[in-house]
Amino acid sequence: MGKTLFKDIFREIKKSFSRFLAILAIIAISIAFFVGINMTCPDMKITADKYYKDNKLMDFHLVSSVGFNKDDIDSIKKVSGISGIMPSYSIDAMIYSEDTSYVVKVHSLPNIINENYINRVSLLSGRLPEKSGECVIEKNNLENINLLIGTKIKLTSGNSSNILDNITTNEFIVVGIVQSPLYISKEKGTSAIGNGKVSTYMFIPESDFKLPVYNGIYITSSDVQESFAFTNDYDLKIDSLRKSLENVAIERSNIRYNEIKSESIKLLQIKENEFKKMQESFNASAKYLTNDQKKDILLNFTNAEKVIQDAKNEINSIPKVIWHVLDRNTNIGYVDYGNAADRMDAISKVFPIIFVIVAILVCFTSIGRLVDEQRSYIGIMKALGYSKRFIVLKYLIYASLASLTGGIIGILIGFTLFPSFLANAYSALYTLPKLILKVDSTFAILVMIVAVLVTSSSAVIVCYETLMQNASSLMIAKAPKPGKTILLERIPFIWRRLKFTHKVTARNLFRYKSRFFMTVIGIAGCSALLLVGFALKDSIGTIGIKQFGEIYKYQMTININDNLSKDENVNIANTISNIPNYESKLNLLSKSINIRLGSKESNCNIIVPEDINAINSYIALHDRVSQKEYELTDVGVILTEKLSNKIGAKIGDEIYIKNGESEEYKVKLIGITENYLLHYLYMSPSLYEKLYKIKPAYNQIDVKLTNLENDKKYSISKNIVSSKGVASVSFSDDMLEKFSETIDSVNSAVLILIVSAALLSFIVLYTLTNINISERMREIATIKVLGFYEKEVSNYVYRENLILTLIGSLFGLLLGFYLAKFVIITSEVEILMFGRDIYLISYIISVILTLIFSWFVNIVLLKKIKNINMVEALKTVE
């Protein structure tokens, strides 16, 4: 029995190839998108992980306020769980060209390559340095300097110190181009010199540094050799080593502090002893001296006593030694890239829903039509005595074949083309090796099974009704769907006003209800996808503009070191007020704190402005929705929006500010302010003083400038950074620019959404309109005979499509609104709040694009209408 059945199936496929193709295509496209978008995030992460493993990216980076000596390194080596340890040097230096300068991070390259060589560079061209005065650099990305192999680079310190105190030579010749795993992002961090932004990096031989102590230690953990970067598994396994290192950090920083202190005390004691001896010898020889001589010597003694006393004071105020145990999450490249991959992942959550729904719809309609056409065949088979099960087999195999072939094509495309395309969009922002395309066979098989199950079960379901009828009634042609009076006709007010052809359209719409719903759902999916795409762009695109344009009203931020002397503070203030275009400034305290409400805790920055009346003209504190301005008072604190959501605080709640491990201050929340980047808590200085029992030490200055010209920025920041005590200078519009770059990566996601929406609407409308035309062949032929012109005929058919498309896209906007909300919230990263507004233009473009897509389908199918042969169509009996 099998042979005839298969012969029949293959003939069936050949005969109705476009229908077979439609099922195949929707399955292929759905799977390609689903698999492709789901694989992009893992592929991106796997690629980075492999690169990190190959190049041994550090798991921890230790920094200390006094550097690391041999004893420090020895005691760290004793910590269990360490796989590799590499002490290193690094300094920030400046490279000058004619009129610009760049900050370059200079790293040491170890002499020996062994297990302990961490953050290995990949050599892209040339060779590694072999002797003093040679360097390797990043592939050139500087605008005004062309750094190539053979170029001589001259480094300067960028401040008053002499760079030759830190390195043996300041002239280097480029011998190779490298890529370091420390810097996969364009953003390379901040610096205390130059314009405050690290522009590029270079490696020089370790022996070219002559710093007394190492200023960083890179460590890899043996616990995470098998773990993948960016995963929870990694984060969990890394924790035990972190704890051990933190313990060593506390222990060693105390020891180092005491060492420094006791060394100073020892020096002091030597001086004191000398002084004592001198006093003794003076006392012994006093009788031989004249009065004048005695007077001079005693004066000298008083001075010496004063010096000793000053030294004693200084010893008491030696700053505490602080060690920081930094993990990969402080590496900008690692964090940015991980976030970019996660954003992709969030988008992938939307696709399956819409595509699966549409794929099911298309399968149902296409196979439904096939079964309808084959009524008499089914009747004959039944009459011949074939079982229902056997008859259904044909349609089951037909559908399964389509979905199997489509599925394989979809999986092939999904695992290869899509991730490459998407990751390609990121390649402009991140320097990484070629994307690794992972093939997850379990995932692939699972997707295939679902696809085949969905299509084959839809075949069985649509067959069921027909199969239940008896053979004789099946062999009689199915009567065309009868016309009916529709509800609209009962409203003569509207009905009478409609043009005749519009009445026909209205009736047809309601005549084929299932087609009505399917088209509306398909088109709604299309518009929704478009809106999600544009909404993503809107919300991410506005972060920078809102944060640095509307919320932060100042143009420049200066960070200054803690505990500056009064003179230094005055000096900085004078430098600032001498900036051309200077308007006003506000001193602030900014430091990292933890707050909690109930068991929910979060890290944030506390901001205390010196002048509470001025704060709102520097940082707009207002409610996002009502734009109502908040006043910063002594009653309580203001939190940024995402922070308050994170700990679940509402206005009026009492929240706790942690100070150290044990102490907590209770404060009232008096406002939740619009904010998109990082978390802040705003507090008045008097409340701060009341809680912390000390006056706020202002360490940040926000400056307002009028007419800041782009080319002046460099000289302004250079001028300020050169003042003693200034840590960094940054400009708001530079930050804004940085944020506009992130939009580029969103654009590729938007493009994907647009393309998929186009394909989706094409398949849905093509399938449904095609069936519509086939079913109404006679009707269309009749109106052609009656003398309808081509345009009138196509309008007769397409007016329905237009109305369905409009209805569908309106539903789509509604659906898209909620989907976009979901996507935006799930794809948000911890420290960012995406914009919540979708611009009107996004709605409009979504609808217009949907209309264009459906118009395109109409154009394609116009030929089919044109080719309807009146004579043939009218001859056949329905």
Q: List contacts with other proteins (CB under 8 A).
A: 479-484, 500-501, 503-504, 507-508, 511, 778-779, 781-790, 792, 870-871, 874, 877-878
Torsion, CA 210, CA 214, CA 215, CA 216, rounded to 10? 140
Which residue lies nearer to other proteins by CB, 242 or 503? 503
Distances (CA, A) of 202 to 109, 153, 176: 9, 10, 10
- Three-state DSSP state, 211: coil
Which residue lies nearer to other proteins by CB, 312 or 481? 481
As measured in angstroms, the least distance from the Cβ of 860 to other proteins is: 21
Q: What is the number of other CB atoms lying within 10 angstroms of the CB of residue 738?
A: 14
Of 210, 260, 231, 307, the residue nearest 71 (C-alpha):
260
Strands (DSSP E) along 403-562, which ranges? Answer: 556-560
Determine the Cα–Cα distance for residues 753 and 533; give it in Å rounded to an integer.
6
What is the amino acid identity at position 415? Answer: F
Distances (CA, A) of 641 to 158, 314, 685, 728: 39, 44, 22, 27
As measured in angstroms, the least distance from the Cβ of 503 to other proteins is: 7
Which residue lies nearer to other proteins by CB, 480 or 648? 480
Determine the Cα–Cα distance for residues 646 and 596; give it in Å rounded to an integer.
10
Of 342, 75, 54, 431, the residue nearest 225 (C-alpha):
54
Which residue lies nearer to other proteins by CB, 449 or 785? 785
As measured in angstroms, the least distance from the Cβ of 786 to other proteins is: 5
As measured in angstroms, the least distance from the Cβ of 4 to other proteins is: 25
Answer whether 431's CB lies under 8 Å from 49's CB: no
Determine the Cα–Cα distance for residues 447 and 406; give it in Å rounded to an integer.
12
Answer whether 36's CB lies under 8 Å from 419's CB: yes
**Complete edge-to-edge strand list for the sheet that includes strand 60-64:** 82-88, 216-221, 60-64, 323-327
**Is residue 825 packed enough to be buried (19+ CB in 10 Å), middle (13-18) or exposed (0-12)?**
middle
As measured in angstroms, the least distance from the Cβ of 872 to other proteins is: 10
Which residue lies nearer to other proteins by CB, 769 or 809? 769
- Three-state DSSP state, 496: coil
Which residue lies nearer to other proteins by CB, 433 or 483? 483
Answer whether 551's CB lies under 8 Å from 753's CB: no
Strands (DSSP E) along 392-525, which ranges? Answer: none
Locate 529 and state its tokens.
């996808």
Which residue lies nearer to other proteins by CB, 786 or 840? 786
Largest CA distance in the chain: 146
Which residue lies nearer to other proteins by CB, 503 or 553? 503
As measured in angstroms, the least distance from the Cβ of 774 to other proteins is: 15
As measured in angstroms, the least distance from the Cβ of 875 to other proteins is: 8
As measured in angstroms, the least distance from the Cβ of 847 to other proteins is: 29
As measured in angstroms, the least distance from the Cβ of 341 to other proteins is: 53
Answer whether 315's CB lies under 8 Å from 265's CB: yes
As measured in angstroms, the least distance from the Cβ of 791 to other proteins is: 10
As measured in angstroms, the least distance from the Cβ of 832 to other proteins is: 55
Determine the Cα–Cα distance for residues 4 and 142; give it in Å rounded to an integer.
71
Which residue lies nearer to other proteins by CB, 259 or 779? 779
As measured in angstroms, the least distance from the Cβ of 624 to other proteins is: 52
Residues 6+ away with beta carbon under 8 Å from 423: 40, 43, 44, 47, 435
- Three-state DSSP state, 484: coil
Radius of gyration of the chain (CA): 37
Answer whether 499's CB lies under 8 Å from 338's CB: no
Determine the Cα–Cα distance for residues 689 and 25; give it in Å rounded to an integer.
69
As measured in angstroms, the least distance from the Cβ of 876 to other proteins is: 9
Which residue lies nearer to other proteins by CB, 758 or 777? 777
As measured in angstroms, the least distance from the Cβ of 840 to other proteins is: 38
Which residue lies nearer to other proteins by CB, 493 or 789? 789
Which residue lies nearer to other proteins by CB, 507 or 596? 507
Which residue lies nearer to other proteins by CB, 748 or 774? 774
Answer whether 121's CB lies under 8 Å from 109's CB: yes
Determine the Cα–Cα distance for residues 769 and 792; give it in Å rounded to an integer.
17
Locate 323 and state its tokens.
């060690």
As measured in angstroms, the least distance from the Cβ of 783 to other proteins is: 7
What are the DSSP calls for 582-601, one per residue? EEEEEEEEEEEEEEEETTEE
Sole residue written with tokens 């997850």: 440
Locate 480 and state its tokens.
């065309």
Please, what is the Cα angle at 401 between 395 and 405, to 5 degrees?
A: 155
First-last CA distance in the chain: 31
As measured in angstroms, the least distance from the Cβ of 462 to other proteins is: 22
Which residue lies nearer to other proteins by CB, 212 or 482? 482
Which residue lies nearer to other proteins by CB, 450 or 868? 868
Of 669, 676, 785, 673, the residue nearest 736 (C-alpha):
676
Which residue lies nearer to other proteins by CB, 412 or 486? 486
